[in-house]
Amino acid sequence: MAAVTLFTEPIGSIPRPLDLVQAIGAIGDGMDPALDPLYEAAIRDTIERFEATGSPVITDGEQRKFQNFWTYSVEGMANTTPDGFRIPFSGGHTRRMPRLTSGPFRYMRYADEYLDIALRYAHVPLKQAVISASALSLMYPPDGIAGYARSRFIDDLLHEHESEVRRCLQKGACKVQIDFTEGRLAIKVDPSGNLLNSFIDLNNLALARFSSEERQRIGVHTCPGADRDSTHSAEVDYAELLPSLFELNAGNFYVSLAGEADPVRVLKAIRRYMKPHQKVFVGVVDPIDARIETAELVRDRILEAAKYIPLGQLGTTDDCGFSPFCDDTSTSRATAFAKISARVAGTRLAAEKLGTG
């Protein structure tokens, strides 16, 4: 039987250098051109450190997403106000989305801009994370917008999302990862499941615009959030999300697991609901746990996962991005890269044990 490769990939975000965080805070405008040299230096340093971990796939650490992974594409829109959808975290703080006040809906920037810069420095394949259509759909107010129907908004949203993903694929991203952290949150907001179902339907409308070959380069990431060492929906039972998650017509799934209270229960659910054409990257390091995992612990987590997920469909990842919000300094860059190094080394140990390539 041919050897099976055990793949490993990061999620995306890396804590920004403190001088960059402080400069953004002092200027108060993450788009100020005066910050460009600091962004460039942060991206270059991030890629150098990423490659030093031995990770076969890297990202730019989302250093240029000057606010966060969620609203980078719409920051600066004139037709919004800051009092949109509220996201409470277990640490006691709250994040808010912008609220759309009029049409049309258009991105201010696309993630392939970040890829352009990263490609100047990277020597290994780059993946690019993008926000989901369902997350941005929360910008449309529940009571509607006069003269701009929700159906028109959805058409515009899908067009922008498709354009962003295509641009990243065309620029050479080895994978495009759709961040779907709102999936688990949707169940907390609406226990009936209607909101989650609407998210799945919307994202599948977007995915249907791509060929089956393109969808093998597209993945979906789910986690309960990771901001200032806290989550927004960890109390939601994975069993309420996973059946719907694997209905998404994507080729890759990045599922947080290391921080779960009962990983085996989650693995059994994954085995039950995953499709034969889907690859599942399970989280083997926890970004909001201050402890740095050993390679041996990572290896053991992978060996446990291999009992439930066929080796040809199994990969490893981080539970979530590290500090996906720009002002989050709860985790250091050194800690993030130490955890990534443990993931890479532990995956290698597990591959040797499992006899994979």
Q: Which residue has the higher pLDDT, 142 or 31?
A: 142
What domain range includes position 165? Answer: 7-354
Phi, psi of 143 (to 5 degrees): -90, 5
**Domain presence at residue 2:** no
Q: How confident is the model at residue 1 (pLDDT cuts 50, 70, 90)?
A: very low
Residue 25 lies in a domain: yes
pLDDT value, residue 4: 61
Give the range among 131-145, 183-197, 200-214, 322-336 with minimum mean pLDDT. 322-336
Q: What is the pTM (predicted TM-score) of this model?
A: 0.94
**Cα distance between the two ends of the chain:** 12
Nearest to 176 by CA among 115, 97, 99: 115
DSSP 37-83: HHHHHHHHHHHHHHHHTT-SSB--TTTT-SSBTTTTTTTT-TTEES-
Distance of CA 112 to the CA centre of its chain: 15
- List the one residue out of 63, 62, 66, 70 whose CA is nearest residue 31: 66
Structural domain includes residue 1 = no
Query: Which CATH number is 264's domain given?
Result: 3.20.20.210
Q: Does the residue 24 lie in any domain?
A: yes
Q: pLDDT tens-digit profile of 88-113?
A: 888 888 888 999 999 999 999 999 99
Q: How many domains does the chain have?
A: 1
Assess if residue 104 is contained within a domain: yes
Residue 140 lies in a domain: yes
